[in-house]
Amino acid sequence: MKHYDAIIIGFGKAGKTLANTLAQQGKQVAMIEKSSEMYGGTCINIACIPTKSLVYQSNERKYSEAPKKDFYRNAIESKNDLTSLLRNKNYQMLADQDTVIIYTAEASFLDDHTVQLISETETLELTAENFFINTGSLPVIPPIDGIKESKHVYTSTTLQQLDVLPEKLAIIGGGYIGLEFASIYANFGSEVTILDNGSTFLPREDRDIAEEVKKVLEAKKITITLDSGATSIIDQDGAVTVQYEKEKNKEEITASALLIATGRKPNTEGLGLENTSVEIDDKGAIIVDDQLKTTATHIWALGDVKGGPQFTYISLDDFRIVRDQFVGEGNYTLKDRQNIPDSVFIDPVLSHVGLSEDAAKKKGISYKVATMRAGEIPRSQIIKQTDGMLKALIDPDSKEILGCTLFCAESSEMINIVRLAMEAKLPYTFLRDQIFTHPSMSEGLNDLFSKFE
């Protein structure tokens, strides 16, 4: 039985960055990853990087004369080459460290201080001073009749492995993952239909933003069907038929492929947490305090597995919280994390930070609001991406920015500028009067915040 200073379960963003940091401090570290296809974590293998590669390439198809099936197959190959390159780079980052040992095995706790590793060739037991769980999340698979038997059902992971472009793609789930894939595959040339069992499209967004997004997606010939709960899935004639209920009527749709995009859940099953003093909540997320310590004080949980926002940059910030406890002063905690930005890479990109107008109303917060069309920004005309709108809220007394939603080209970059101003508690006039390069999408912030005058 080998003993380590730290055992990290999961090769995700927080885990691998922490392993590298601890190794540079001379700590003996064991990194455990159950699949060699997941070195580097979810982001570079099956999520952020490969999907954004497909976003970029699907947008490029507008300018290609290649047959759409050939273009798609080449895009998948390019995506695979990229993830393979990054996977190897991430593996070597840790393997080259003298004090890091990488185990490709499935880990489960035997007690608070011992994990058992089961690989294809052996079974081991390891102990450590400290443990860090960074096992990420898994797709939620709803209990729909026939879903497990169908050969045409995919998750966000497996759909990316399909190198034949579906002529017709059905998507169960109208959340951010579903919309992103809908936009990608519509741009590649698939006929896309979204079945959303909710009655409100994008319920977390203001209605003016949601309606603008819906209009843009429908212009891509994406069909969005609300109040549609799938009841059964049947394979027939080389395709898949989804039966669903809409307004108490039974309807059906047939597609080449069906994507299940009904959310993700913390990946805690099989970790043997029942053998430890680590507690989980009713959604399977590991319960942590503001320093990410679990109910076992020598065990931490980082990233998606602890619940909360499922973003790679949140996992990286989790690393910062833990790092501060080992090589800092231990002052940085979850309480310091404010104004988390997010971007949904539909076409154009939908980005947000801070309060929405609906949230401000519900909280009784006084505000002023300004909006503008994306097409008012000169660069949007140059790059022929004029769809969308921009929206901002400010405090009428302090003049600070309360929130901002940007549905426009390059908004994933612009939103970071807004967040910096919010974190610095600068008045909106800082962005109104900021000198931006021209022509750039960022200078649209000059115009947006000028509308408060």
CB count in 10 Å sphere of residue 303: 33
Give CA–CA dist 449/404, Å, rounded.
10
Bridge partner residues of 373 (DSSP): 389
Same domain, 202 and 321: no
> 267-279: buried (b, 16+ CB within 10 Å) or exposed (e) per residue?
bbeebbbeebebe
pLDDT at residue 284, as a whole number = 96
Tokens representing 275 are 């053998």
Same domain, 390 and 294: no
pLDDT at residue 191, as a whole number = 98
**Does the structure show a pLDDT above 90 at 453?**
no
* Domain presence at residue 134: yes
Same domain, 198 and 322: no
CA-closest candidate to residue 98, choices 33, 38, 22:
22
3-state secondary structure at position 387: coil
Give CA–CA dist 76/82, Å, rounded.
10
For the residues 312-337, what does the mean pLDDT come to? 97
Please check whether residue 117 is in contact with residue 123, taking contact to mean a CB–CB distance below 8 angstroms. yes
Domain end call among 312, 336, 360: 336
pLDDT tens-digit series, residues 86-142: 999 999 999 999 999 999 999 999 999 999 999 999 999 999 999 999 999 999 999
- Tell me the pTM: 0.96
What mean pLDDT is reported for the chain?
97
Same domain, 241 and 280: no
Same domain, 157 and 248: yes
Q: How confident is the model at residue 452 (pLDDT cuts 50, 70, 90)?
A: very high
Catalytic residue selected from 3, 113, 352, 438:
438
pLDDT tens-digit series, residues 353-410: 999 999 999 999 999 999 999 999 999 999 999 999 999 999 999 999 999 999 999 9
* Domain presence at residue 245: yes
Q: Is 3 a catalytic residue?
A: no
Q: How confident is the model at residue 5 (pLDDT cuts 50, 70, 90)?
A: very high
pLDDT at residue 1, as a whole number = 86
DSSP, residue by residue, 191-260: EEEEE--SSSSSTTS-HHHHHHHHHHHHHTT-EEE-SEEEEEEEEETTEEEEEEEETTEEEEEEESEEEE
Same domain, 210 and 298: no
Q: How confident is the model at residue 247 (pLDDT cuts 50, 70, 90)?
A: confident
Which region, left, alpha or beta, applies to residue 83 given φ > 0 means left and ψ of -120 to 50 means alpha?
A: alpha
